[in-house]
Structure 1
Amino acid sequence: MDDFDALSAMAERCFPGLETWNRDQIESQLKVFPEGQICIEIDGKLAASSSSLIMEYDAGLEWHNWKAISDSGYIRNHKPKGDTLYGIEMMVDPEFRGMKLSRRMYDARKDLCRRKNLSQIIIGGRIPGYHKHADKMSAREYIDSVLEKHNYDPVLTAQLSNGFIVRGLTPNYLPADGESCGYATYSAWTNLEYVAGAKRRFHHVIEPIRICVVQYQLRTIRKFEEFHQQCEFFMDTASDYKCDFVLFPELFTTQLLSLPSVDASRPGQAARQLAAFTPQYLDIFTEMAVKYNINVIGGSQFVVENDTLYNVAYLFRRDGSIGKQYKIHITPSERKWWGVSPGKKVEVFDTDCGPIAIQICYDIEFPELTRIATQKGAQIVFVPFNTDTRHGYLRVRYCAQARCIENHLYVAISGCTGNLPFVENSDIHYAQSGIFTPADAEFARDAIADECNPNVETLIIHDLDFEQLRRHRDQGSVQNWNDRKTDMYRVVYQEDEKTFEV
């Protein structure tokens, strides 16, 4: 109820001229069905809200009558044992539009629908763009034009992009809604996991995770904003495909060394100049991860801590939190040219899609690190890499594929292409980024889920099935992890002044 004043103010901005909820209605909604009343806050400020109730589906019910279905906003007709979630309102504050908040609201409703084992979501959606076309087309013609992408409607287009199907047109839905001329669509989303008669939450066994791998072309730029724009293009594209993760290459930030303000002639000093961009880099990727609703492995970036230079890969979660993995094995050229120091710990990060690990380029060539990550629960290892020749790339690729077989997990690798003239130790690049699997009957024939064409700027998108991975670990043709001869050999490592064995 602390949100009431903010809800009322937001409703006035979202639905000018329409009556807003009163305090009694909000109190009733929270009392009757608190799980169905959801809001999003950004920095403590209300940004979006969603209200719903559960009904028993009846084809003869007045689904077109918003006031009857919503009980005039009190939802006292909510049926906890019903089979249909009915959305009675959703709004996004104009100040926060463009951040895909409606998608998150619809995802939250879908999650609620699955958890409650409900068959579908039904909504009556406004068509606020219709008033601009009402003088030349009927409401049905307008909806057809939106379905065919001739016109854009801020509500209907969002519903269609979130998997809803228009089943009907409702006149006089909200007579006071001048923007929609009183009309609304009757739309539905079907829960494919629904089990009729189930008395408990039904757990779907397949958990597909969508991965986007970016093969990034390094090119000379004139200002930081050009780097930001190039990164945001890939983020926006991955978001359009509703990816869960996007992976950028190791030290793709060396593109910033081509800026006129940077002296890249002396590599050691150039690396520390690059590290000076870290605060800006952290700011833009944190913002984009939240804005585009994706977990981002932001390649890697030089960081100076206590006057020591590190190569660090950052995980930008879509909830705004950040994790980081220091590169542990430093190549001879990194030591010679840049003076990079090694990290000392294998991190495994919790995400909303399960535990993951990050290994930066050379690190994937040491099998002990992936053993440790697997022991800690990682199901996928993300490898940002940066190689100058095909030989260097092949070392990363073949070792990544070996780690899949040894540990029964997925590995995704992302590298740079293109050239940076006059940037020492980062002048030429070779890559063929990819997503790799264990080698067994249930996976792709060559154990490659997907891969880029070599040495061109592009991206790949692929769904990984973690349940398939679990079955492979338990029942695969070979059991590399289980068949280790730990009586003969083990991985022993130090962490936080303690000794561990794998």
Structure 2
Amino acid sequence: MSAFRLAAAQFPVSEPRTWDEVETLLSRWVAEAADEGARLLVFPEYAAMSLAALFDEATRDDLNLQVIALQTLRERYVDLHRRLARTHGVYLLAGSFPWTLDDGRTVNRAWLCAPTGNADFQDKQIMTRFERESWQISGAPTLKVFDTAHGRIAVNLCYDCEFPLLARAQAEAGAELILVPSCTDTPAGYHRVRVGCQARALENQCIVVQSPLVGEAPWSAAVDVNVGAAGVFGPPDRGFPDDGVLALGTMNRAQWLYADIDLAAVAAVRRDGQVFNHRHWPEQVTVPAARLHPL
């Protein structure tokens, strides 16, 4: 099915006191989007960090203790999203989770859940300064493309979309739609991700979806301030808006952003666009090395 409705969450950071509150909030959000006809739902990067509010004050105050404590909830968290995807018959990208591996490293992992209840994950590839220097989150260099009933979908977690070769590798593996869950604490950070999304849509002549975490959580050292707007972007070419913006949310407001898309438009623009960015990408390997010239 090439045409369908997607929903990108401008999802609010929260301070739940019980697991029931977590489940109620997510169930309400998913039901609302499904009732509006969305078949693919995207939640933001690090949306799972609200779960740290469930722990005692000492854990809430320590980033490393939060990560350790969150491991006790991770299977429950994924199972909830799998159940919601199955119940509502949707594909659902869960808010990413700091996931500790058997070797002791912790990665930033986003699970894509299918209507069947199956799930697979994409780990973030390139860490920001905060993740590296303050949090010791590691990259996990494995890129995936998910073959779904709604086309071939890739995931770039936030900062990843600012590096063109990651999305390009996924596009060459067949990706038509790239999901970009994000978490940024300044307008500049938000715009860096948005510019990355639009650049990736241009280069690969595909559709890119940004879903940001929004709101404030003064209790959290990880997601205390969150700014951004959801967006759905395509190449500024035939079959797409002149600026490539298919939909754009209201800055910092908790909301779903909906867009009706047709991936046949991706195939069409790659086949007969005004330009052929996707097709002409390999020609870059013939570009000679630049040399420094005194002037």
Same fold (TM over 0.5): yes
Match of 1:429 among 226, 231, 248: 226
Contact persistence 1:326–1:345 (CA under 8 A): yes
SS at match of 2:116: coil
Work out the CA distance in 2 between the residues paired with 1:279 and 1:487. Answer: 44
Are residue 315 (structure 1) and residue 87 (structure 2) matched?
no
Contact persistence 2:4–2:262 (CA under 8 A): yes
Unaligned runs of 5+ in 1: 1-205, 490-502
Per-residue Cα deviation, 1:364-420 (whole angstroms, up to 9, x for no partner): 011000110000000000011100010100000001000000001000010111111
Deviation at 1:236, TM superposition (A): 0.3
Work out the CA distance in 2 between the residues paired with 1:447 and 1:354. Answer: 20
Deviation >6 Å, runs of 4+: none
Partner of 1:296: 92
Aligned residue identity for 2:286: M
Partner of 1:474: 271
Q: TM-score under structure 1 normalisation?
A: 0.55
Deviation at 1:278, TM superposition (A): 0.5
Per-residue Cα deviation, 1:167-203 (whole angstroms, up to 9, x for no partner): xxxxxxxxxxxxxxxxxxxxxxxxxxxxxxxxxxxxx
Deviation at 1:220, TM superposition (A): 1.8
Q: TM-score under structure 2 normalisation?
A: 0.93
Aligned residue identity for 2:97: Q
Are residue 284 (structure 1) and residue 80 (structure 2) matched?
yes
Contact persistence 1:271–1:338 (CA under 8 A): no
Are residue 360 (structure 1) and residue 188 (structure 2) matched?
no
Where in structure 2 are the equivalents of 1:337-486 lying within 5 Å?
A: 337-484=134-281, 485-486=283-284
Aligned residue identity for 2:62: R
Deviation at 1:422, TM superposition (A): 2.4
Change (3 A) 1:276 1:488: farther
Per-residue Cα deviation, 1:334-357 (whole angstroms, up to 9, x for no partner): 122221111111100111111100
Deviation at 1:468, TM superposition (A): 1.5
Deviation at 1:235, TM superposition (A): 0.7
Per-residue Cα deviation, 1:132-176 (whole angstroms, up to 9, x for no partner): xxxxxxxxxxxxxxxxxxxxxxxxxxxxxxxxxxxxxxxxxxxxx
Deviation at 1:311, TM superposition (A): 0.7
Higher helix proportion: 2
Larger Rg: 1
Contact persistence 2:171–2:204 (CA under 8 A): yes
Partner of 1:16: none
Work out the CA distance in 1 between the residues paired with 2:181 and 2:256. Answer: 14
Match of 1:269 among 24, 43, 65: 65
Where in structure 2 are the equivalents of 1:327-338 lying within 5 Å?
A: 327-338=124-135
Deviation at 1:486, TM superposition (A): 4.6
Aligned residue identity for 2:85: A
Deviation at 1:487, TM superposition (A): 4.2
Give the superposed CA RMSD.
Answer: 1.4
Aligned residue identity for 2:149: D
Work out the CA distance in 1 between the residues paired with 2:245 and 2:36. Answer: 21
Change (3 A) 1:487 1:327: closer
Work out the CA distance in 2 between the residues paired with 1:264 and 1:339. Answer: 17
Work out the CA distance in 2 between the residues paired with 1:363 and 1:335. Answer: 14
Contact persistence 1:272–1:302 (CA under 8 A): no
Partner of 1:216: 11
SS at match of 1:346: coil
Deviation at 1:270, TM superposition (A): 1.4
Contact persistence 2:233–2:246 (CA under 8 A): yes
Partner of 1:249: 44
Per-residue Cα deviation, 1:398-455 (whole angstroms, up to 9, x for no partner): 0100000000100001011111112113211101111111111421232111111000
Work out the CA distance in 2 between the residues paired with 1:213 and 1:457. Answer: 11
Where in structure 2 are the equivalents of 1:162-241 lying within 5 Å?
A: 207-241=2-36
Work out the CA distance in 2 between the residues paired with 1:487 and 1:416. Answer: 37
Contact persistence 2:112–2:121 (CA under 8 A): yes
Contact persistence 2:181–2:212 (CA under 8 A): yes
Unaligned runs of 5+ in 2: 288-295
Deviation at 1:228, TM superposition (A): 1.5
Aligned residues: 284
Aligned residue identity for 2:44: P
Partner of 1:305: 101
The higher-RCO structure (CA 8 Å, 6+ apart) is: 2
Contact persistence 2:151–2:263 (CA under 8 A): no
